[in-house]
Amino acid sequence: MRVSLQPAYLLHSRPYRDSSLLLDMFTAEHGRVALIGRGAQRRSRGGSQASLLQPFRPLLVSFSGRAEQKPLLAVEPAGALPALRAERLFSGLYLNELLVRLLQRHDPQPELFALYGNTLGGLACNPSTEADLRRFEFGLLDALGYGFDPAHDGHSGLPVEPGRWYQYQAEFGLVACSDAVAAQGTRFAGADLLGIAAGQYDGEYSMAAKRLLRQALASHLGERPLHSRELFRQFRHAGRQQ
């Protein structure tokens, strides 16, 4: 199988053998694929290729083979590298880590691919990153088959009521609970959920939206913490020390 000029992004890379790189790529039509960039670490032969193989840069890649790890035949730029700096860089790394941890290989996700590209553009340009991150998290859950509607009780199917409390359950989504049960764990006010369902991820609903998506993703990520989140904590701690 040969694939030519496939739109792609590099999610992660690591050294492979003497001078090559093992590349975890997210492609438009083939999902996540593992590619081997032979000689990509060499400055003499792979310098130009190595300069292109950066996270967040839109690429066109060509590869072939039926093995799990396929040789990268060619790579070309498909757009400018988004200017992700400081906290926005860590947001981009967070997106990449979510895809690596949750997306199966060879599972085409063209809509998620487009959403990822749009999210990177938003992270680089928009005043706040919260709405872009929340939209991506919801889109990722939908693509994986774990999506839920914040405006409806996932168990009863009834519309969420502004004055009631709800809890997130991985099997159903949001489920109404009594005040006593809500007081014992993580809870969400119906009014906040309706704001989230309307796409209001900033302002008064931002913290509730962040808590909800973090809990929903945690149920699928498992116990291993996200490395990007820990790096961001270290970055903020270092900033406070200066």
- Look at strands 165-169 and 31-37 and give their pairing: unpaired
**By the 8 A CB rule, do 3 and 64 touch?**
yes
Work out the angle at residue 234's Cα, subtended by the Cα atoms of residues 231 and 239, and round it to the nearest 5 degrees. Answer: 130
Q: pLDDT tens digits, residue range 117-141?
A: 999 999 999 888 999 999 999 999 9
Q: Helix or strand or coil: residue 94?
A: helix
Looking at residue 92, what is its pLDDT? 96
Looking at residue 24, what is its pLDDT? 98
CA 58 to chain CA centroid, Å, is 16
Give the other-Cβ count within 10 Å of 158's Cβ: 11
Backbone phi and psi for residue 186, each to the nearest 5 degrees, phi listed first: -70, 130
List strands edge to edge, sheet with 173-177. Answer: 173-177, 165-169, 188-189
User: Which domains occur in the chain, in start order?
Assistant: 2-77 (2.40.50.140), 87-241 (1.20.1440.120)
Q: pLDDT tens digits, residue range 4-25?
A: 999 999 999 999 887 889 999 9
Assessment of whether the complete model's pTM goes beyond 0.85:
yes
Instruction: Please list, in sequence order, all residues whose beta carbon lies within 8 angstroms of the beta carbon of residue 88, skipping any fewer than 6 positions away.
Output: 123, 124, 129
